[in-house]
Chain A
């Protein structure tokens, strides 16, 4: 771990960047969370590392861009993975681009999520922080969608072999994360759904039904106290 530099503290892990076997590498360390009971912390950490590993492998198999995993170390609670050096989060991209660019991008993102669900993976934490846009020519330029590839990351809450309801929740989580974060969400999200339905032909109908159910439940919930 020497020569690795702390890059970021994410939603549950610390991310370090450095070189491993000659390649730019991110180490994702799910450090001990002292706030929670030791037993719970151990169980969750192991589960999350397993989930992330399994989902990344499955995603690769169905043709979705995710970081290549180099090493999984349960004892040190670490995953070593490919670093996308020339990348920005979808969150930052949304805040610095025009709506029509974003709508085009949203169609593609919808297609990717459709493909992932078709491959029976739910991400579990779809937000604009967990989608990266990577420049294909190793440059820090993100102005042209044609030069970007979309990469999904952070699969700690992912599940493989999931139901239509799980997939519906996945979409609902994404919708809510976008709406609460981005002013343009009401323009983008329908495009994501459009791309999703278009790609995921035999399956999306049931998922969209479930998504609407979950959504309606949210609206109807009474809140006392």
Chain B
């Protein structure tokens, strides 16, 4: 039996999760929300995490109804992410690990998403679309690593959505992406936008600058904000589905798993499932509890590492802003 606690704070979400042999015991989370038109900055985000981390930790422990002595391993996000928030949360993880006298493990954030997704959905060996505020990758497992088949060559899809939300001054509560999704449902007129895929890679910076330059004019021409949200979603999600399909065909895979914060967008899920149907594949996705950054994804991936014998020295329990998914050897998978 393994009980693991996980600390996540690589971006504007702060979460502490506890798992016991792949059963979620607690997963509280709190989000740093900025005013409309503003993004979150490292310093303020770190401040937010510092202010709330102990209360979130207490909440996790009391919900899980466990004693700290029952914990086998303390896990935290090593990267990738924003430096200051990552460091803030890592310090707390190191401190409690010392206090409770437990081993510590740094977890790759992207791997956390993938393993969480596999756990919740039961997908065995899926081609993974990982889409969030800072990441856009198409990943498949091979030879002891999660290999990156495709990715954004500039900004992440979530970043594109968030920054477009700022152009329209859409609220960041609960998240810009959620609010764009709601507006898009009422959109009717489709505006053709730049569409950019290169093999299994995608690019969003062109479409974002197009939107930044043209939004005022488009609104004057009679398009509504809803139409623009709709058109943006239709275009960028089509790019994601197309490149995922390329990877699926190339790997002969028959499962798709969507993870990451943008992954709870129901329109994206719907488009992906239509694509899957057209080629006899199966789609797996999760809802906002597990798609969006959370503590359990770190706890669960850490528990898998722990079970397979991974050990981290204290002096290695640092953070890193750049940490690619394919850098980690997946010691816990032997297929």
- Residues on A close to B: CB < 8 A? 9-12, 31, 33-37, 39-40, 43-44, 91, 124-127, 129, 157, 169, 173, 176-177, 179-181, 183, 214, 217-225
Contact = CB atoms under 8 A, between A and B. Distances in A.
A183 B321 CA distance: 28
Contact of A222 (B153, B238, B250, B321): B321
Interface in B228-278: 234-235, 238, 241-242, 245-246, 248-251, 260-261, 270-272, 274-275, 278
23 contacts: A35-B241, A35-B275, A40-B190, A40-B234, A91-B250, A127-B200, A127-B250, A173-B199, A176-B199, A176-B200, A176-B201, A177-B149, A177-B250, A180-B149, A181-B147, A214-B153, A219-B322, A223-B81, A223-B110, A223-B135, A223-B156, A224-B321, A225-B260
A181 B110 CA distance: 20
A100 B134 CA distance: 40
Contacts of A39: 190, 192
B11 interface: yes
B126 interface: no
Given A173-B199, A218-B151, A225-B135, A37 B238 contact: yes
B195 A44 contact: yes
Contact of B132 (A9, A181, A220, A225): A225
Given A173-B199, A217-B153, A222 B249 contact: no
Given A125-B246, A157-B199, A225-B135, A36 B238 contact: yes
Nearest to B322: A222
A173 B234 contact: no
B250 A221 contact: no
Contacts of B142: 180-181
A180 B11 CA distance: 28
Contact of B192 (A40, A129, A176): A40
Interface size class of B (residues with CB under 8 A): 35 or more
B2 interface: no
A44 B271 CA distance: 16
Contacts of B274: 34-35
A224 B238 contact: no
A222 B198 contact: no
A221 to B, nearest CB: 7
B250 A224 contact: no
A81 B321 CA distance: 49
A221 B322 contact: yes
Given A11-B249, A224-B133, A157 B198 contact: yes
A124 B198 contact: yes
Interface string B5-29: 0000011110000000000000000
A126 to B, nearest CB: 7
B180 to A, nearest CB: 16
Contact of B11 (A37, A176, A224): A224
Nearest to B136: A223
A79 B245 CA distance: 21
A189 B190 CA distance: 42
